[in-house]
């Protein structure tokens, strides 16, 4: 016989704990384990406000207080008219009339019951509508500390930390420093995404498999298409697809730097671009059948989009200026 767990009603303290852990970057699964529940139980709470912690609820100064409702209740029992009750409270008669009518009328009006009902009615358990109209379809905002990758994800031998990356790459002062990652689809499919930090120029490449040999071969092929002056370094996360990073550096003379564990914001340009790419390649899409011509067309659309951070020039314009300067 199948058994079901008893339904749980989360207290305000429970919800505060959820929001604290979510802000720290914990996954839905790890938060749910604290309550012996599945991640869907926690997601239901967080998704109501789009992953953004709601402000603490307070009563409106114009709303009736519990003391005023008790005064109304005593007036009703004493048989006073609505106008006399309203006058004693310095409220409009219509306010007292609506209060009594919506809470059972004269015969059933109770101050405590009416006060709780008013508090419940004031609550707005509506789902966040803003994220439905954004370019990205993500329904919940995540903490900058959040990652779906565990602490031991991608143990790379002889990995050079991002802290050793040149200062010119950090401040985007000169072109030639790139960020890269894999964008995953269904059926174990993926594409390689590359973004140049100075110009925000995007390159996309087909990758038949995520094993390190295939990925590195695809990245080497892309690197040989660019002038040496415009490809000086590559920053990647600690995924095992870059385990053969030494071969990439040996073949291209391009240094590879790795982000700190669970720190995806350290390659923020690439993370932002991957989010934009979901407009064209939504989650769950099989990417194995996407032709390179299609990838080139999507990259062209992103590269021809004016950017405020580039003074409303396009990445293509900035990148072509860099190419021209190399002679």
CB 210 within 8 Å of CB 220: no
Residues 190-208, mean pLDDT to the nearest whole number: 95
Which three-class secondary structure state does DSSP give residue 249? helix
30 pLDDT tier (thresholds 50, 70, 90): confident
Whether the per-residue pLDDT at 142 is higher than 80: the answer is: no
Report the half-sphere exposure of 207 (CA within 13 A, side-chain side).
Answer: 30
Domain spanning 162-325, CATH architecture: 2-Layer Sandwich (3.30)
Residue 138: pLDDT band with limits 50, 70, 90: low
For residue 257, how many C-alpha atoms fall within 13 Å in the half-sphere facing its CB?
20
DSSP secondary structure letters along 19-57: HHHHHTT--HHHHHHTTT--HHHHHHHHHTTTTSPPPPP
Q: What is the pTM of this model?
A: 0.59
- Rounded alpha-carbon distances, angstroms, from residue 220 to 12, 59, 234, 245: 53, 62, 11, 10
- CA 307 to chain CA centroid, Å, is 21
| Nearest alpha carbon to residue 239 among 223, 262, 217 | 262
- pLDDT-derived band of residue 149, with 50, 70 and 90 as boundaries? low
CA angle 219, 235, 299 (to 5 degrees): 55
- The predicted structure's pLDDT at residue 152: 46
Tokens of 94: 């219509």
Report the alpha-carbon angle 39-44-50, nearest 5.
110
CA nearest to 263, candidates 146, 140, 138, 142: 146
Give the pLDDT confidence score for residue 264 in this predicted structure. 79
Q: Which of 71, 105, 120, 109 is nearest to 91 (CA)?
A: 71
pLDDT tens per residue, range 119-137: 888 776 555 566 766 666 5
> Among all chains, which residue has been given the structure tokens 């995953």?
184
Confidence of residue 45 (pLDDT cuts 50, 70, 90): confident
- In this predicted structure, what is the pLDDT of residue 261? 82
């Amino acid at each position: 016989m199948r058994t079901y767990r008893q339904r749980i009603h989360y207290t305000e303290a429970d919800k505060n704990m959820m929001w604290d852990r979510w802000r720290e970057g914990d996954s839905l699964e790890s938060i749910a384990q604290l309550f012996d529940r599945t991640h869907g139980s926690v997601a239901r709470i967080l998704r109501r406000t789009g992953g953004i912690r709601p402000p603490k609820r307070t009563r409106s100064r114009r709303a009736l207080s519990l003391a005023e409702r008790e005064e109304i209740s005593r007036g009703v029992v004493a048989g006073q008219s609505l106008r006399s009750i309203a006058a004693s409270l310095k409220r409009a008669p219509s306010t007292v009339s609506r209060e009594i009518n919506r809470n059972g009328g004269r015969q059933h009006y109770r101050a405590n019951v009416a006060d709780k009902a008013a508090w419940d009615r004031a609550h707005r358990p509506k789902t966040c509508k803003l994220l439905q109209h954004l370019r990205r379809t993500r329904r919940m905002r995540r903490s900058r500390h959040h990652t779906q990758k565990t602490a031991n994800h991608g143990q790379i031998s002889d990995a050079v930390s991002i802290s050793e990356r040149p200062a010119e790459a950090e401040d985007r002062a000169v072109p030639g420093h790139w960020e890269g990652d894999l964008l995953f689809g269904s059926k174990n499919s993926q594409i390689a995404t590359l973004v140049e930090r100075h110009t925000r120029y995007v390159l996309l490449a087909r990758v038949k498999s995520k094993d390190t040999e295939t990925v590195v071969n695809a990245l080497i092929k892309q690197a040989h298409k660019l002038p040496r002056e415009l490809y000086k370094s590559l920053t990647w996360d600690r995924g095992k697809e870059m385990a053969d990073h030494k071969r990439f550096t040996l073949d291209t003379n391009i240094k590879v730097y790795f982000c700190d564990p669970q720190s995806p914001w350290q390659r923020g340009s690439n993370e932002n671009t991957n989010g934009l790419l979901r407009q064209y390649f939504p989650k769950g899409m099989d990417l194995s059948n996407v032709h390179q011509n299609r990838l080139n067309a999507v990259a062209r659309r992103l590269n021809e989009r004016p950017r405020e951070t580039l003074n409303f020039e396009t990445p293509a314009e900035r990148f072509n200026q860099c190419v021209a300067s190399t002679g």
